[in-house]
Amino acid sequence: MANEKTLIGRRGLLAASAGFLGASVSSGRGQASNDSEGLVPPWSKEQGAPIRESSYGEPSPFEKNVVRRPRGALPTFPSAGTSDTPLQNLTGIITPNGLVYERHHAGIPPIDPAQHRLLIHGLVDRPLILTMDELTRFPSVSRLHFLECSGNSSATWTGGNPKWTVQDTHGLLSCCEWTGVLLSTLLDEVGIKPAAKWVLAEGADAAGLSRSVPIDKALDDAIVVYAQNGEKLRPEQGYPVRLFLPGYEGNMSVKWLRRLKLGEGPFQTREETSKYTDLMPDGTARQFTFIMEAKSVITFPSGGHHLKGPGFYEISGLAWTGRGRIKRVEVSTDGGTSWHEAQLQEPVLSKCLTRFRLPWTWDGGPATLQSRATDETGYIQPPRRMLTDVRGFNSYYHLNGIHPWHIDPSGGVSNVA
Amino acid sequence: MANEKTLIGRRGLLAASAGFLGASVSSGRGQASNDSEGLVPPWSKEQGAPIRESSYGEPSPFEKNVVRRPRGALPTFPSAGTSDTPLQNLTGIITPNGLVYERHHAGIPPIDPAQHRLLIHGLVDRPLILTMDELTRFPSVSRLHFLECSGNSSATWTGGNPKWTVQDTHGLLSCCEWTGVLLSTLLDEVGIKPAAKWVLAEGADAAGLSRSVPIDKALDDAIVVYAQNGEKLRPEQGYPVRLFLPGYEGNMSVKWLRRLKLGEGPFQTREETSKYTDLMPDGTARQFTFIMEAKSVITFPSGGHHLKGPGFYEISGLAWTGRGRIKRVEVSTDGGTSWHEAQLQEPVLSKCLTRFRLPWTWDGGPATLQSRATDETGYIQPPRRMLTDVRGFNSYYHLNGIHPWHIDPSGGVSNVA
């Protein structure tokens, strides 16, 4: 599997031999050290911005284009829409809170946490209404998990637009450290009646978004979350409290959570009958397709990037699976003829993004780059064609096929439409 | 070591028996579910804020007091100052980028990344000037590490003010996923001459802050960092590039890095002779005290918190060590007479914050809470007195003693001054 030409030794004049260094000191482009000829930049001569009485920091103005964006134009009814995480600009596995993707059905409700209540009722022994102060008194957990919209990359069922970036194709994907109370802890508190097999989760937004969750998932690793990446949930992520179902499609991690009701069967809400089902070629629909299967995508180089000439590049991307840990990621730079095992960033965590990296020397010719993930169950991310052969083209959700990017000899990178 | 009274069973009417639930459904405080009597809040009836064309999200307005603050008044010369992370409000181990602590010697320089250069010279075979585009072409790593100012908690050498919060006492502490190029990769590229034993790191701020780093550290786990928590470095964290020395005192992770020079010995810069040395009782000073030793602090409950009556609380805090992994954290609720082993949040990572938690039932009487960390080398965080017995009271940096909080019968929590 290894291709020696693509691998770079640790002691090897990596950059110089791969031709990406524009200048050395001896080339005379100028000294970065002290001089008296105006080469010292102004920020080395003047006091910078001072400490403030209180502050919440923001990115550099030079990074102002690294933002969430809807794919294409805003929807006609912009309180029901999505915005995508700029994966092409990000590194590592954490998504900063300001860039976590959005999916709203009725906009972002301006909830006062002092007024918010969480009701737990139905087939329980002791129904409860919790204030936020009460909820945060329970024993807590913090866990790193990905969150992916079931519709992520759905527009690529038929290939899509060559100009799409990975933000456009895969941007409904983020990863945070989520903190809250295990749902099992709260269910212990209210006492589950034996007949209870499903839990209805309902949001406090004007959509009243509602989904049914199997009791086994509720008692396994479901979390009632009130914080992300250390701080309280962001408004667009469900402030002050959301459900979080690791590895399940994002819409089930109901935001602005106001109610949990235990019942004998699924509640057959609008969001699990008319929406979030998978229409098959024979006209039937798959329902309750909860788990996000193993998937990966190369984030560098990806659509819209421009390689500055042949030479060394580090291919990098993300892999994830709703079934546990990623076991292996392979990368092809020749359209799938040969595959190379990528290095996985440690620690590889369950139901969390895994960053992969592979050193590569681009020869300047056309190239098609793609990645495929294998998870700990042995499931291998399939070619898109393998999915469409079974599911046809009426479906929308749960597209986890291999995603190729094309590099042309000028260095331009485009979506393979 | 276990004290059964403080431990809460998984099936035990935890909250109800511990008395922190203000109402159940049957108590008639009102239904959170649909009603027709005005109990449905406005945000469940009206469309919320829509998706925007582009956005970088911000915290809820209800969280506006969760900000970085200097301890006490602003310094006379506010471009040389610090601001503290609000640890009392945070959960888990990640610090969101907007709240990562600050320490500036000449303010925050407004560096244009296109103009910035990193020079590597001195005892090397091939001196190099790198642009940011060139630097980010090298193979990269992303790692979760804490960052702590050597002066963190220094004001508590003599106890301090009873009103101090953990932001005041320990807020020069943060933890991010840092992404960049291993310094060893860059040093391979320039070629190290055999005589090179130290590396000078110099910042591009007006202070030109400079520190000497032993070559062994440079070749071990030092990283030339350009991103934090997924996105590019924040301006106050060294945008566009900083050095990062895992486990070493924060000032050595030189921000706005412009120059690395290899030499035979330490460079004896101002910041390692007149500053960042430890004055001992006999008038001599310890120099080059790089490593941050094992330390921990309880963040809940901590100074300024107010417990709402006796009952169940989860004690929670942070532990860390510059020497590797935290092995154990013990918590005392009786001023150090008895100790209970806390649960450590997984994964426990090297030179990273570790969140610990311990269930506790407060009986309503006065209590003194404290934690002590043990790292994988077997080193145990000492009582503050053990440090002052050796180091006296002229010292300022590297105070890693056990930190107590006092709870009075009204529930008020204060710094033990």
Q: Does residue A314 lie in a domain region?
A: yes
Q: What is the C-alpha to C-alpha distance for residues B112 and B381, in angstroms, rounded to an integer?
A: 43
Max Cα–Cα distance, chain A, nearest Å: 82
B74·A96 Cβ contact <8 A: no
Q: What is the C-alpha to C-alpha distance for residues B54 and A251, in angstroms, rounded to an integer?
A: 22
* Whether residue B280 sits in one domain with residue B300: no
Q: Copy the structure tokens of residue B140.
A: 């990269």
Q: What is the C-alpha to C-alpha distance for residues A212 and B86, in angstroms, rounded to an integer?
A: 37
B109·A44 Cβ contact <8 A: yes
Q: What is the C-alpha to C-alpha distance for residues B279 and B32, in angstroms, rounded to an integer?
A: 61
Q: What is the C-alpha to C-alpha distance for residues A163 and A158, in angstroms, rounded to an integer?
A: 14
Q: Does residue A356 lie in a domain region?
A: yes
Q: Does residue B118 lie in a domain region?
A: yes
As beta bridge partners, residue A144 has A177
What CATH number should be reported for the domain holding residue A253? 3.90.420.10
- Enumerate the residues of chain A whose CB falls inside 8 A of the CB of residue B357: 139-140
User: Which amino acid type is present at position B17?
Assistant: S
Could you say which of B82, B92, B189 has the minimum Cβ distance to residue A142? B92
A295: left (phi over 0), alpha (psi -120 to 50) or beta: beta
Q: Does residue A249 lie in a domain region?
A: yes
Q: Does residue A9 lie in a domain region?
A: no
B29·A66 Cβ contact <8 A: no
Range of the domain at B387: 295-415
Last-in-domain residue among A286, A305, A335: A286
Q: Copy the structure tokens of residue B257.
A: 């890095």
A94·B94 Cβ contact <8 A: yes
Q: Does residue B56 lie in a domain region?
A: no
Are A256 and A203 in contact, with CB atoms under 8 Å apart?
yes
**Domains of chain B: total:** 2
* Whether residue B277 sits in one domain with residue B240: yes
* Whether residue B109 sits in one domain with residue B248: yes
**Best residue of B20, B33, B34, B91 to probe chain A, by most A CBs closer than 10 Å:** B91
* Whether residue B363 sits in one domain with residue B232: no
User: Which amino acid type is present at position B283?
Assistant: G
CA-nearest of B250, B159, B182, B158 to B211 is B250
* Whether residue A399 sits in one domain with residue A270: no
A231·B90 Cβ contact <8 A: yes
What CATH number should be reported for the domain holding residue A394? 2.60.40.650
Report B:23-82 residues touching A (Cβ under 8 A): 23-26, 29-33, 41, 43-63, 66-70, 74-75, 78-79, 81-82
* Whether residue A203 sits in one domain with residue A338: no
Q: Copy the structure tokens of residue A166.
A: 């990975």
Last-in-domain residue among A286, A316, A344: A286
Q: CB contacts < 8 Å between A and B, how many?
A: 401
Q: Does residue A77 lie in a domain region?
A: no
Q: What is the C-alpha to C-alpha distance for residues B158 and B406, in angstroms, rounded to an integer?
A: 16
* Whether residue B263 sits in one domain with residue B145: yes
Q: What is the C-alpha to C-alpha distance for residues B146 and B153, in angstroms, rounded to an integer?
A: 15
Are B359 and B15 in contact, with CB atoms under 8 Å apart?
no
Model pTM greater than 0.90?
yes
Could you say which of B24, B69, B138 has the minimum Cβ distance to residue A15? B138
Could you say which of B24, B78, B234 has the minimum Cβ distance to residue A128? B24
How far are the Cα atoms of A182, A316, A387, A402, B183 from residue A382, in angstroms, in the given order?
A: 33, 19, 7, 6, 38
- Enumerate the residues of chain A whose CB falls inside 8 A of the CB of residue B359: 139
How far are the Cα atoms of A46, A117, B238, B250, B306 from residue A133, in angstroms, in the given order?
A: 47, 10, 37, 35, 12
Q: Copy the structure tokens of residue A32.
A: 């970065």
**Best residue of A51, A108, A175, A224 to probe chain B, by most B CBs closer than 10 Å:** A51
Walk along chain A (417 residues) and give the pLDDT tens digit of each residue. Answer: 333 333 344 444 566 666 677 655 654 444 444 444 557 999 999 999 999 999 999 999 999 999 999 988 888 888 999 999 999 999 999 999 999 999 999 999 999 999 999 999 999 999 999 999 999 999 999 999 999 999 999 988 887 899 999 999 999 999 999 999 999 999 999 999 999 999 999 999 999 999 999 999 999 999 999 999 999 999 999 999 999 999 999 999 999 999 999 999 999 999 999 899 999 999 999 999 999 999 999 999 999 999 999 999 999 999 999 999 999 999 999 999 999 999 999 999 999 999 999 999 999 999 999 999 999 999 999 999 999 999 999 888 999 999 999 999 999 999 998
Q: Does residue A400 lie in a domain region?
A: yes
* Whether residue B278 sits in one domain with residue B142: yes
Q: Give yes or no for A99 touching B (CB within 8 A).
A: yes
* Whether residue B331 sits in one domain with residue B208: no
Radius of gyration of chain B (CA): 24
Last-in-domain residue among A286, A309, A335: A286
* Whether residue B224 sits in one domain with residue B318: no
Angle at A93 between CA A90 and CA A97, to 5 degrees: 70
Are B223 and B143 in contact, with CB atoms under 8 Å apart?
yes
* Whether residue B330 sits in one domain with residue B219: no
Are B301 and B307 in contact, with CB atoms under 8 Å apart?
yes
* Whether residue B391 sits in one domain with residue B275: no
